[in-house]
Amino acid sequence: MSKNLFITGTGTDIGKTYVTGLMIKKLQESGLKAAYYKAAMSGNDRREDGSLVPGDAVRVKNMSGISQPPEEMCPYVYENAYSPHLASRLEGNPVQPEVVKAGFEKVAAEYDYVTMEGSGGILCPICFDEQKIMLEDVITMLDLSCLLIADAGLGTINQVVLTWFYMKSRNIPVKGIIFNHFHRGNIMEEDNLRMCEYMTGLKVLACVADGDTQLNMELSELTALYE
């Protein structure tokens, strides 16, 4: 059975997929059998035959070099770039927890390390009409600890602290923070790191700059995050 970790963020488009790809790449290049999983993926293009390309899965696969087929990385793929609850309302095929769990357990049985990425931020609704399923319900169902990805720029103190405070109130364990879009030497961004550590008690584990192709983090520190 694999060791697992859930990746959430302070919101959408802050680079969760990019950072996740770097994490999986480091595991893969170290000889570990690593895999990716996501419950629901929105904003995907269609192939000529009308089928949907699981874009985040393909990006992670291309970044990391893993051999895992994209088809087993995500059970729910939607075209509209909306929250999964709204995308499925328009397109059909709403998320069912048992399907998500079965897909995750299949991947977990075949790989050593599974990195599961969330949709949007921690309060993202996964399904709403047929069942009320929030992202935190998926995390709890699979009994996962989390890593928080945040943008390094202006406004991140408020976003990080509010996200952490909510997760703490829901008893969701958070292992630490990785900041994306980081500019070393930028006085504001470096202060953001210090303030977020001070206000949450979480450790900043790594910082990722635009264009980075490697995660600046020791392998032992990375693997220690997985349970």
- Phi, psi of 150, rounded to the nearest 5 degrees: -140, 155
Q: What is the pLDDT averaged over residues 89-98?
A: 97
> Are the CB atoms for 16 and 23 separated by under 8 Å?
no
The residues pairing with 183 across neighbouring beta strands, listed in sequence order, are none
**Model confidence pLDDT, tens digit, residues 15-71:** 999 999 999 999 999 999 999 999 999 999 999 998 999 999 999 999 999 999 999
pLDDT of residue 10: 97
Q: What is the pLDDT averaged over residues 83-88?
A: 97
pLDDT of residue 127: 97
> Are the CB atoms for 23 and 222 separated by under 8 Å?
yes
The residues pairing with 77 across neighbouring beta strands, listed in sequence order, are 41
- Residues of the chain with pLDDT > 90, as a percent, come to 98
The mean pLDDT of the chain is 97
Catalytic residues, which ones?
38
Q: What is the pLDDT averaged over residues 156-165?
A: 98
- Tell me: pLDDT of 150 over 90: yes
pTM, full prediction: 0.96
188: Cβ contacts below 8 Å, ≥ 6 apart: 153, 154
Count of beta carbons in the 10 Å neighbourhood of residue 75: 22
Helices 55-64 and 16-29, packing angle to 10 deg: 40
Q: What is the 3-state secondary structure (H, E, C) of the chain?
A: CCEEEEEEECCCCCCHHHHHHHHHHHHHHCCCCEEEEECEECCCCECCCCCECCHHHHHHHHHHCCCCCHHHCCCEECCCCCCHHHHHHHHCCCCCHHHHHHHHHHHHHHCCEEEEEEEEECCCEEECCCCCEEHHHHHHHCCCCEEEEEECCCCHHHHHHHHHHHHHHCCCCEEEEEEECCCCCCHHHHHHHHHHHHHHCCCEEEECCCCCCCCCCCHHHHHCCCC
Q: What is the pLDDT averaged over residues 217-222?
A: 98
pLDDT of residue 50: 87
Query: How far is 28 from 26, CA to CA, in rounded Å?
Result: 5
Domains of the chain and any CATH numbers: 3-223 (3.40.50.300)
At residue 137 the predicted structure's pLDDT band, cuts being 50, 70 and 90, is very high
pLDDT of residue 13: 87
pLDDT of residue 1: 83
- Give the CA count within 13 Å in the CB-facing half-sphere of 20: 33
